[in-house]
Amino acid sequence: MIDESTLRNALTIRNRRRVSNDSVLSFDGTSWELDQSYLAGQTVTVAHCFATPGEPPWVEHEGKRYPLRPLDAVKNSARKRAQRPDAHEDKPTRFVEFDPVMALWKPKTRCDILRR
């Protein structure tokens, strides 16, 4: 005999989707929104169980489960979004003067020629 949790797991499909910058993703022809705005821009796993067709899909990411709700475009457009914590990590701390074309055009010195 198969228990209910095994059946639910067998009837659950999982697909990878990228969350847009406004925390929206598309699944099965419907736009869904996610409250976790820090997942914007990331690829997540969206799951849906065929055993309970009325239940909305959910997001599984890094071992956690997050609920999805149908997109309310008006509320989503007015929603304040927190800046992602890693937004400033990639910015350089100082400017470095470097022109790659000029590095290639640098004239060869006599020492460079003799090293060959």
The residues spanned by each domain of the chain are: 4-82
- How far is residue 78's CA from residue 100's CA, in Å, rounded to a whole number? 43
Single-letter code of the amino acid located at 6: T
pTM of the model: 0.63
Residue with tokens 């997942």: 39
Give the pair of three-digit tokens for residue 49. Answer: 């169980």
What is the full per-residue pLDDT of the chain (116 aa) written as tens digits? 888 889 888 999 999 999 998 889 998 888 999 988 888 889 999 999 998 888 999 999 999 999 999 988 888 778 776 666 665 666 767 777 877 777 777 666 666 555 55
Residue 23 CA, chain-centre distance (Å), reads: 9
* The pLDDT of residue 38: 87
Three-state SS at 95 = coil
